[in-house]
Amino acid sequence: MRNASAAYLIILIRIWIETLLLTLSATSQVFSKYHFHRQFSEYCEISIARYIQLMRLKRASYRLAFNPLAPIIDIALDSGFENPESFSRAFKNTFDQTPSEFRKKPDWASWSRRCQIPIPARERTNKMEVRIVNVEPILVAALEHKGSPASLNDSVQRFIEWRKATGLSPVNKCQTYGVPHNDPNVTPPDEFRFDICGSLMESAPGNPHGIVMKTIPGGRCAVVTHAGSRERISESVYELYRQWLPNSGEELRDFPVYFHYLNLDHDTPEHQHLTDIYLPLKS
């Protein structure tokens, strides 16, 4: 019974975490507020209040780094803080950089460690909706990230700088893709490779940012939409490989799974992220 109760509790917690729409008073209709706080802390190893603050600061950090023109006071107020001083103090205590320092030179490696929360993996309660599509080849500008996943945002920033400087792959007109060449959960950090890509309106010339032209090949693909934090996208990828593929009768093409980002991290709350996962299949 304890295992069943624990599984049920984790499902409730995950719903609460990803939507942030349930209030504690509503949750207390199932568990008392005190019991819910205790159980949340036991399973997630972090208090509810600290989790909410960390998620607000995490989104604020994206806005600081990727929206350099957004005033810090606006970011502070939008993050639920009463004033810039309390925001700056909480940000400094969490990431060991002030908002201004982070905006100028973010320490993404340290940020990645401090944002890690050991939330239990969720079990899918509904059938994965997989669709088979035929895609055309996609010409993309790519920045080839090589090294620790913790420093991936450094490469993302460099790619964004190129996009803004050249206007060859504008976000409002072009698509954004990610191509992981290996699994970050089992690959040594210095061997991790990930292409950050944007579709092109025209050929991209040589540049100091290290951007190269590549093609995402066309063909048949299985597609599933991952909703929620992209830090948990591996859960959907694994289920696609382990659950859907063996029963599908399909065979894989010689190209890695890749992601199409339907919205971008710094523009959208984490629980609203949408990402299409493409698994290339043989014809």
Tell me the per-residue pLDDT of 143-186, one tens digit each, with 9 for 90 and over.
999 999 999 999 999 999 999 999 999 998 999 999 999 998 88
> Lowest-pLDDT range, 35-39, 118-122, 235-239?
118-122
> Lowest-pLDDT range, 124-133, 197-206, 218-227?
124-133
Tell me the per-residue pLDDT of 255-270, one tens digit each, with 9 for 90 and over.
999 999 999 867 677 7
Q: How far apart are CA 264 and CA 156, in angstroms?
A: 11
CATH hierarchy code of domain 49-115: 1.10.10.60
Q: What pLDDT score does 268 carry?
A: 78
107 phi and psi angles, rounded to 5 deg: -90, 85
Inform me whether the pLDDT recorded for 20 exceeds 80.
Answer: no
- Cβ atoms of 153 and 115 within 8 Å: the answer is no
Tokens of 110: 């340290």
pTM: 0.76
Inform me whether the pLDDT recorded for 19 exceeds 60.
Answer: no
> Lowest-pLDDT range, 70-84, 116-130, 197-211?
116-130
Q: How far apart are CA 193 and CA 147, in angstroms?
A: 7
**Average pLDDT, rounded, for the chain:** 85
125 vs 263 pLDDT, higher one: 263
Q: How far apart are CA 204 and CA 197, in angstroms?
A: 12
Nearest to 61 by CA among 110, 134, 117, 124: 110
CATH classification for the domain delimited by 131-280, as one of 3.20.20.60, 3.20.80.10, 1.10.645.10, 3.40.50.2000: 3.20.80.10
| pLDDT, mean of residues 46-75 | 88
pLDDT above 90 covers what percent of the chain? Answer: 57
